[in-house]
Amino acid sequence: MSFDQYHEPPDELPQQTRTFARMIMSLIEEAEAIGWYEQRMAVEKDREAVAIMHNAQHEEMKHFGMDLEFLLRRKPKWRETLQGILFKQGNIVEHGDEAEEASEKDSGGSSGGKQQKRR
């Protein structure tokens, strides 16, 4: 496995940042596994095999949730923004725009510290 999650020299990064990068990679890997299981279940004909895959996919979802919670505990602004989007009825895009606007307003219009939004 490559360690290309770093965009800066790893030896120059503080431990907290390296841990953060590992958790981001874990989140990505869990999301990929969830998607792979979804594809496998879509084409599998054997019901017992599908049941096993469904169980495994659910386990990956749990890991995804734990990774996300770990990150949100370290990034309160992320939590604040996601609380404006997740588990709400209605238009997802509108909720996202409103949550982003509220978060930017709370932080004085910046992205909150050293991390700037890249495009």
Q: What is the pLDDT of residues 67-87, one digit of tens each?
A: 999 999 999 999 999 999 999
* Residue 3: per-residue pLDDT: 58
32, 63: one domain? yes
48, 80: one domain? no
69, 90: one domain? no
**pTM for this predicted structure:** 0.80
CB contact set of 95 (below 8 Å; sequence gap of 6+): 84, 85, 88
Annotate 98-117 with b (16+ C-beta within 10 A) or e (fewer): ebeeebbeeeeeeebeeeee
58, 1: one domain? yes
80, 50: one domain? no
